Structure 1
Amino acid sequence: MQKMILKKYVPNLGNEGDMVTVKEGYARNYLLPRKLAVPAGEGALKVVAQEKRGREARILKEQTDARVLAEKVSGANVTVTKRADEDGTLYGAVTTAEIVHALLGAGFPKFNPDSVHIHVPIKKVGDHAVEVVLAKGIAAQLKVAVQAAV
């Protein structure tokens, strides 16, 4: 058996930075050639600990930035203009890309369209609520006003 420190996530084994004990053949034939792990030694342990501290600091900064941005997004209203009939029914539902474009026009940074969650398809003119996920566990409610194009 050999102790290894994982450099990347390995399914059914562990995450980046984990110290695992594996059979020597698995380490020699799979983990080491693919650069998924390094042998656990004094130097490797120090490097992994330093990388882990850096990763934790980066995650903490990202979450702090996401909380600040969530406060701004929560109070924001964006407007999307789409073609609609006389009854106010849209010819096509509002997409996440259109909401991201409206946020960009309102002065917000570019969001990934996958981070915008529309729980009920927006197919009518009026005010609607959507959720914007900014980081793991941090989300904001956004008001989207849909107007009929003239």
Structure 2
Amino acid sequence: MESIVMALIGGMMIGLASSLMLIFNGRVTGISGIANGFLSFVSGERLWRGAFLLGLIGGGALVAVNQPQLFQVTDRSLTVTILAGLFVGFGTVMGSGCTSGHGVCGISRLSIRSLVATAVFMSVGILIATLFRNFIGV
């Protein structure tokens, strides 16, 4: 029961943060778009994008230090991990955004494009994970 409450609180915090970003900054909280803009040296926007990304990394590090049992170390090889990251990066470019931008922000704005994109992300993710787990053994 405690994990359900924590998930509910976490979801509410994500929704609140996304709403505040849209209301006060006029921006969708899509992580891939924020990171891409930071790495592309978008004029006048690097400061807030960098602060956002540092907050994500710092928040994860803070939780890792205080609650290390929440993190699992993968037994996957570095090659598989790098390939997975590259596929995710390619997918976010191909899908014009990631699950945070489309799934959290787009669906909450009733965007049909985001609804379709999220359905495709999730369906393909489930399919690939099932295939890898059952047939390839990764």
Q: Same fold (TM over 0.5)?
A: no
Higher RCO (C-alpha under 8 Å, 6+ residues apart): 2
Structure with more strand by fraction: 1
Q: In terms of Rg, which structure is larger?
A: 1
The two structures have a TM-score, normalised by structure 1, of 0.19
Structure with more helix by fraction: 2
